[in-house]
Each structure stands twice: as C-alpha cells, then as structure tokens.
Amino acid sequence: MKVEIKVPTMGESISEAIVGEILKTSGSVVAMDDEIIELETDKVNQVLYAPEGGVIEIIVNTEDTVTIGQVIGYVDTEGAASAPPPVAQSKPREETPAVTPATAPANAQSPDQGARITKEDYVSEIKVPAPAQQVPPPQVVTQAPQAPTATPVPVPQTPAPVGERAEVRKRMSRLRQVIAKRLVEVQQDTAMLTSFNEVDLTQVMALRKKYQEKFVKDHDVKLGFMSFFVKASVSALKAFPDVNAYIDGADAVYRHYYDVSIAVGTDKGLVVPVVRNCDKLSFAEIELEILNLAKKARKGGLVVDDLLGGGFTITNGGIYGSLLSTPILNPPQSAILGMHAIQKRAVVVNDEIVIRPMMYLALSYDHRIIDGKEAVSFLVHIKNSLEDPARLLIDV
C-alpha cells in the first residue's frame, strides 16, 4: 500500500514552502518517523517524517515550491518486505605464496613430505655442473619492420591552488533570504535610533552565586542572566507602554500582555522564539522556557507558533564576545534590547574608583512611536532594576 506524504499545515500565514534538503532519496528504505525531507519557509525550516515504514518515493526536487496539502511523495509499505537484503561482503582470503620450482633445489622434497634439506645435500647439488643450454637459431624476418610506435608521455596535471582566489556559489536558504529582506525593510521603513547605557551587574552576580546550587537542585535548571533581563524588561514595559506598542497603518496598537522574543543563533540563521506571558512566569519558568526553545531552535524543531507574536526582543551578543553593537528591530516590534559581554572595569562609586563587572546595554527603537525621552527612561529603568534586583520583587 502506498501512503501519501503531504506538506503539513505550518501556520496561518504560511501557504507555501521551498523544498530544501532531501534527506532520503527515492528507493531508500525508511522506518516510521525517519527524517525524509526538509521544507524551508519564510519563518522557520521544518523537517518532515516518514508516516510509515517502507520504500520511499520522492516526486519533488530541491528548490521546488510546494503548497500546503500537496503530495510530495509516497511510502510503499509493502516494498520494504520485498527489498533484497544487503549482501554481506566476505573478507578476502589471504593467499599463501607458492614456491617456484626454479628457486628450489632439484632434489628438494615438498613440505608435505616432512623432509628437510641438509647442508651435505645442498653442497653436493651445487658441485654438479649445470647442463649447457641450447640457444635456438635466429629467426629470419620475412616482413618489413614496422615503424616504432611513439609511447604517449603523460602530462602532469597541476592541481589548482587551494584558497587562491577561489569562489563557491551556494544558494541562500529561504530563511536567510527572508532575514536579509526584512533587515533591509526595517532600515527603510522605520525611523530606527539606538540609545546606550551601562549596567553594574555586581548584585545580579552575587545573587546567582549565592542561590545557584539550591536553584538548580529545586528547579533542574541554572539561574542565568536572561531571566533577570526578562523580568527587568517586563517591569520597564509596564512603566512605558509605548515601547510595547506597534504601528499598524495610521494606528498605534498597544499590547496588554508581555511576550518577549529571545534571539537564538543557529547554524541556519537567527531565530527569535517567543516566551509568552513573562509577567506571570517565575525566574525558573523563564529559564526553563528559554532553554527548551533554544534546544528546539538548534535541532530544527521550532514550529511557526513558537515564533508568532512577541512584543519586545532581547538579543545577547555578549555570548559571542561582542562589547557593543546596534541591534536591528524585529518587525513589527518597536524596540529591541541588546546585551553585551561582561567586563571588569574601573568605575567611580561614591567618589571612589572600584572594579565592577560592567555590561553595555543598547536599546534600538522606532522613533515614529517612541520618543527619545521615553527610550532613555526605559533603558535607565532596566539599569536600575538590575543594579538593585529587589526592585523586581516590589515592582518599583
């Protein structure tokens, strides 16, 4: 029986996809739930799995455009039973080199006879003169000699130098194409501006060090920096609602929920899955949700619903060593917070120079809906919340 392989529904806003990598070629024997093909959309790449075990037949090619519900192949469930089993390759038998008669003495006995050649036998054998060999008479050539054939001389092939002005053309993935397109659109369609500040993370690092062991024991996840930044951002979004709004035509739409997108780098590009209802989640729940979404993103397991929505984005370039950068907006959102590397620097506290773990913060925002005063105040609110984390408990 042939079972159809169809393009599944991948979200309300997605009607088509591009055939990416074909993981199982036609004629391959697959088991149920084997990865068979990867589809690329403008939001996420999705792997399709074999619905049944059998012999697979793919009727589309790489880079073909397919629509939701389209049949792209079949699995012949009866084909696996009739497929010939793989032939086991036997190890080649080692051959024992034979003794040539010319190298053995004339009176030598074979090893099968159990005899050995003595020194006296060998000496007596070599004293006997060898019979004169008869040389055959020379043959008279009756045909005209042929012209000698020229032997072709192989021309050495010089290998092309590796890495010397070499170019390799590779098609960008659908996801990478969409990322590139949207980044350009953001620059053209928004009045993007960036404000900077710095934060002293002494108190946050002290809390993590003090409670890390018990936190991991109770919640089975580490207490990271990201949960502090998410909580601080939610507090700032409540204080400055324009940052949680977006422009739709001539209207400004204000969100009364707090869904935060967390940027995750993968081999195929940057994705921003959403942690929803962050105002209602604990520190542990935020850390667990971020960990699960990051694992799904790196394994290619994100679905469209993981990416939809989101009112504010946090991106952490510090994990790659970035000291300062200007993050680009994630449309239709109006603001994005950039975290950077933590460095010990000399700062002035109470008129004294001290060494503190400092991080530069960057807030990029759409100036069409967010004024500079609000943006700077928003960033200062985050700074104050992180330098005195007790504020997050009493919501000030």
Which residues form the catalytic set? 367, 371
**DSSP conformational letter for 42:** S
Instruction: Please return the burial class of 49, using the count of CB atoms within 10 Å of its CB with bins 0-12, 13-18 and 19+.
Output: middle
CA distance 361 to 380: 10
Structure tokens belonging to residue 65: 């455009």
CB neighbours of residue 168 within 10 Å? 4
CA distance 48 to 38: 6
The dihedral over CA atoms of 376, 382, 386, 391, expressed in degrees to the nearest 10, equals 120
CA distance 276 to 20: 30
DSSP codes of every residue in 137-177: PPPPP-SPPPPPPPPPPPPPPPPPPTTSS-----PPPHHHH
Check: CB of residue 373 under 8 Å from CB of residue 219.
no
CB neighbours of residue 11 within 10 Å? 17
CA distance 276 to 77: 42
Check: CB of residue 80 under 8 Å from CB of residue 31.
no
Check: CB of residue 109 under 8 Å from CB of residue 40.
no
